[in-house]
Structure 1
Amino acid sequence: MIKITDTHMTAEHNGKVIAEATRTAGTWHATTWPTPLTYNQAITALTIAELVATGADESDPCVISLREELADG
């Protein structure tokens, strides 16, 4: 589950935080992505973390597509 406030996002799996994003100076910084992100991109980065935590691997078409979307962003 992803929880979102104005300045912080968390992705949780089985009651444990698996990824976070924090808004600083108008951009989002996710623990799972190396570059600053927009609001929507931060949600995408946390979604990838959720997919992997729930059993998808790096070769999953959805994971690949979302990573490509972030890289091209």
Structure 2
Amino acid sequence: IEPICLGTNIGQQDSARADKVILLLAGLYHHYADHPEPEVSKALVARIEKRWKDCDQPLFLVALILNPFEGLTRF
């Protein structure tokens, strides 16, 4: 549950930006995709994928690409 708490704190900051949010989602996805308990992994990965499908994906991707510290390095 610690990654979810950290993600909540990062997402609620006044300085939260779209590029931070997409990196947060990616980090949570990778953390729970490799979780040792298959039930937890499957449930949380499904929830993260649903949230990603429901959001404005082009906005988040453009924000990440335009970030001078990230650019296309994540792709």
Q: TM-score, normalised by structure 2?
A: 0.37
Query: Larger relative contact order (C-alpha < 8 A, sep ≥ 6)?
Result: 2
Larger Cα-atom Rg: 2
Kindly indicate which of the two structures has a greater share of residues assigned to helix: 2
Q: TM-score, normalised by structure 1?
A: 0.38
